[in-house]
Homo-oligomer: A and B are copies of this chain.
Amino acid sequence: MSETASTRTPLSPTPRSSLTRAKERGRTDRAELDAVLDAGLICHLGVVLNGSPVVIPTIYGRDGDTLYLHGSTGAGNLRAAMAGEVSLTVTHVDGIVYARSAMHFSMNYRSAVIHARPIEVTDPDERMHALRVIVEQAAPGAWDAVRSPNKKEMAATVVLALDLTEASVKVRTGGPRDEEADIATGGVWAGVLPLRQVFDAPISAPDLDPEIEVPQHVLSRVSDAVLAG
């Protein structure tokens, strides 16, 4: 991970977002928060409903210091999210860490945990902008190629904005941290099994006009090896 200084707002962890375990995995560079969020396709949103936590996967988009969520006006979880604080987490698993002892097995990962009180976005221009940001996070380059939301769709949509000030980033990289005694004993393989997400060749919709080709903004996400395969 880059340790380059950022000109962006630094992370300002509160006691809640500070790390109580494995402090060496914490990162305070704002650029690292942005990198973890920008690489994500979904987040896990935690809200409190009737006193109990509920964690739901949802798509999101980041623009500067703001993270946008959207949902149907009929979604109970989103209404609950508007009423109080939320926790929002994005995690990438980069590898499985095989150790010489069971208790040192681990994962290599990057994760960002946000705490915020969501604000409903009501300005029409910002609402449209937020939806663009969310679609572009999931499908870069797609927004300008498709039909924009119409009035009926906008009326059925809630858009929320979360401030990214209260956030923490944790990153684990590298091999196992085994006990000296276990290393000395030897005889056990130890290392990392790396893991990554890959896109496969796009599948056109069954009802698509066969003359419409897969656009470059989709093809560019797939590796040459996969397309050749």
Contacts and interface: CB of A to CB of B under 8 A. Distances in A.
A64 interface: no
Interface string A193-217: 1111111111111111100111100
Given A54-B87, A89-B55, A113-B55, A208 B192 contact: no
Interface in A113-141: 113, 115, 131-132, 135, 138-139
B44 A89 contact: yes
Interface string A37-81: 000011011111111111111010000000000001011110000
Interface of A: 16, 20-21, 41-42, 44-57, 59, 72, 74-77, 84-89, 91, 93, 96, 98-103, 105, 107, 109, 111, 113, 115, 131-132, 135, 138-139, 142-143, 145-149, 153, 157, 175-176, 178, 182-183, 185-209, 212-215, 218, 221-222
Given A202-B193, A205-B191, A209-B186, A105 B74 contact: no
